[in-house]
Amino acid sequence: MATLADDPAARAQRLVGETLNEKWHLDELLGAGGMAAVYRATHRNGKTAAIKLLHPELSMDVSLRKRFLREGYVANAVEHEGAVQVLDDGVTEEGALYLVMELLEGMSLHTRWERMNRRFTPRETLSVAHSVLGILVAAHAKGIVHRDIKPDNIFLTRDKRIKLLDFGLARLRDKEAPQAANGPVSRRMRVDTPTKTGRGELLGTPSFMAPEQALARTEDIDARTDVWSVGATMFTLLTGRAVHEAGNPHEQLIMAATKPAPSIHDFEPGLPEPVRSVIDRALAFNKVARWPDARAMLNATAAAYATMPPEKKREKKPDAGK
């Protein structure tokens, strides 16, 4: 059983009801992970926002503080409505960093996928991919590579818009990199595992990493790295499994670095050819064989979507206990 000491959500829950800097009242915990917690908050002027609060023990780490603040600078630099806007940043009386972000109403793509019995239809998958790729077209035009595309970082709003979260991992090309208030944005590459919450181990997710990213070849990471991750996301939404299944994240990382992705046809033989083609090309081991950029893949998803017949409305999986 998790305790307050090892459960981020339990620790974060204790702050609900507190007020940061005599301005932001923390109304509700929206989510918590190994690095930060997100709250619905109300400003003393009555406006609401999302507060992303770096865990206090991590706020002492200079490199993590820089990475946390970087998310705000980079997301705003994308200048696309699909990138979550960061409105402000601050430091609590206890020294913990926080970002003030636009408040989103809805759910993550991962949550939606779980409610749909861990299977999306081809039309649903293509629609999501098309929206994400549209955001990436804007990001890549600014020299910004996201590097952590996955269902948990894609948000579906109640009014059916797609938002791309967590630009804290984004890599900026040298000539395009904006200057943060505390200096140049760092471009160091580190690896995160989805189960690790230890200090300094919060960067990247092996099941959605392109080979060059898994190999930590920072100089090879570019827009086609994000293309691979979009393909991996589509693969998972349609098949209910990761591109590379393994016993633990470290094995998964090794497979991502050394083993070509299987064809989605191996797991979904009935998938229409246009959809299979989009995904298989995105997941090419050699990035030269992938879609050359996000716009090319976006156009391919639109063309594939146009071939799809209408689908019957599905019932989502009922919540437990209801």
Helix axes 122-141, 223-239, angle to 10 degrees: 160
pLDDT tens readout for residues 250-272: 999 999 999 999 999 999 999 99
Residue 126 CB-half CA count within 13 A: 22
pLDDT at 303 over 60: yes
| Spatial distance between the Cα atoms of 176 and 12, rounded to a whole number of angstroms | 36
Three-class secondary structure of residue 90 per DSSP: strand
Architecture of the domain made up of 106-306:
Orthogonal Bundle (1.10)
Mean pLDDT of 233-256: 95
**Would you place residue 6 in the very low, low, confident or very high pLDDT band (cuts 50, 70, 90)?**
low
Q: Where in the chain is the domain with CATH 3.30.200.20?
A: 8-101
In terms of average pLDDT, the best of 3-12, 51-60, 204-213, 268-277 is 268-277
Q: What's residue 285's pLDDT? A: 98
Question: For 124-151, b where at least 16 C-beta lie within 10 A, e where not — what string?
Answer: bbbbbbbbbbbbbbbbbbbbbbbbbbbb
**Would you place residue 173 in the very low, low, confident or very high pLDDT band (cuts 50, 70, 90)?**
low
Closest residue by Cα to residue 303 from 166, 164, 62, 126: 126
CB 16 within 8 A of CB 26: yes
Q: Count CB neighbours of 3 within 10 A.
A: 8
User: Where is pLDDT greater, at 29 or 196?
Assistant: 29
Structure tokens at 286: 């050699």
pLDDT at 184 over 50: no
Average pLDDT of the chain is: 86
pLDDT at 322 over 80: no
| One-letter identity of residue 146 | H
Q: Where in the chain is the domain with CATH 1.10.510.10?
A: 106-306
User: Where is pLDDT greater, at 157 or 309?
Assistant: 157
Q: What's residue 167's pLDDT? A: 87
What does the CA dihedral 184, 187, 191, 194 come to, rounded to 10 degrees?
Answer: 60
Q: CA angle, 268 as apex, 267 and 272 as ends, to 5°? A: 150
Q: What's residue 172's pLDDT? A: 62
Check 6, 7, 27, 148 and give the catalytic one: 148
| Spatial distance between the Cα atoms of 91 and 234, rounded to a whole number of angstroms | 38
Please say if 148 is a catalytic residue.
yes
Q: What percent of the chain has pLDDT over 90?
A: 71
pLDDT tens readout for residues 152-172: 999 999 999 999 998 877 876
**Would you place residue 315 in the very low, low, confident or very high pLDDT band (cuts 50, 70, 90)?**
low
**Which H or E element spans position 135?**
helix 122-141
Q: What's residue 57's pLDDT? A: 87
Structure tokens at 98: 């926080």
| Spatial distance between the Cα atoms of 278 and 299, rounded to a whole number of angstroms | 10
| Spatial distance between the Cα atoms of 105 and 125, rounded to a whole number of angstroms | 21
DSSP class of residue 259 equals: S
Q: What's residue 70's pLDDT? A: 84
Q: What's residue 4's pLDDT? A: 47
CATH superfamily of 8-101: Phosphorylase Kinase; domain 1 (3.30.200.20)
| Spatial distance between the Cα atoms of 144 and 167, rounded to a whole number of angstroms | 9
